[in-house]
Amino acid sequence: MIVKIAKIAGLGLAFALVAGISAYLTLTLIIKSEDTVIVPDLEGKDVVYALEILTELELNTKVKGSEYTGDIPKNHVVFQEPPPGSEIKKGRDVRIILSKGPKTFAMPHLMGLSIQQTDIILEENDLCRGELSRTYHRQMEKDHVMAQVPASGTIVSRRACVDLLVSLGRRPAAFKMPDLAGLTLEDALQSIERLNLVIGELKSAYQNDKPRNTIVEQEPVFGHRVFIGSTVRLLINRETQKERAGHSAGQATGNLFSYRLDSGFLNRHIRVSLNTAGFTNDLFDDFVKAGEEIWLLIPTDQEATVFLYENDKLIKTQRYGAY
Residues 6+ apart with CB under 8 A from 100: 66, 67, 68, 69, 74, 126, 158
> Per-domain residue ranges for the chain?
2-99, 104-167, 172-250, 255-323
3.30.10.20, 3.40.50.10420, 1.10.3720.10, 3.40.50.300: CATH of 172-250: 3.30.10.20
CATH 3.30.10.20 fits 104-167, yes or no: yes
Query: How confident is residue 251, by pLDDT bands cut at 50, 70 and 90?
Result: very low
Contact call for residues 254 and 202 (beta carbons, < 8 A): yes
Read off the pLDDT of residues 216-235 as tens digits, 9 standing for 90 and up.
Answer: 999 999 999 998 888 898 88
CA 269 to chain centre: 42
Q: Is the pLDDT of residue 323 over 70?
A: no
Asked whether residue 160 carries a pLDDT value surpassing 80, the answer given is: yes
**In this predicted structure, what is the pLDDT of residue 286?**
87
CATH match for 2-99 among 3.30.10.20, 3.40.50.720, 3.40.50.1700, 2.30.110.10: 3.30.10.20
| Same fold for the pair 104-167 and 255-323 | no
Average per-residue pLDDT for the chain: 83
Tens-digit pLDDT profile for residues 240-249? 544 544 443 3
Please state the pTM of the whole predicted model.
0.43
pLDDT band at 26 (very low <50, low <70, confident <90, very high): low
Residue 244 one-letter amino acid: R
Q: Percentage of residues in the chain with pLDDT exceeding 90?
A: 40
**Domain range 255-323, CATH class:** mainly beta
Q: Name the pairing type of β-strands 161-167 and 128-135.
A: parallel
Residues in the chain: 323
Give the Cα-Cα-Cα angle 249, 283, 199 (nearest 5 degrees).
70
More confident residue, 265 or 282: 282
User: In this predicted structure, what is the pLDDT of residue 92?
Assistant: 93
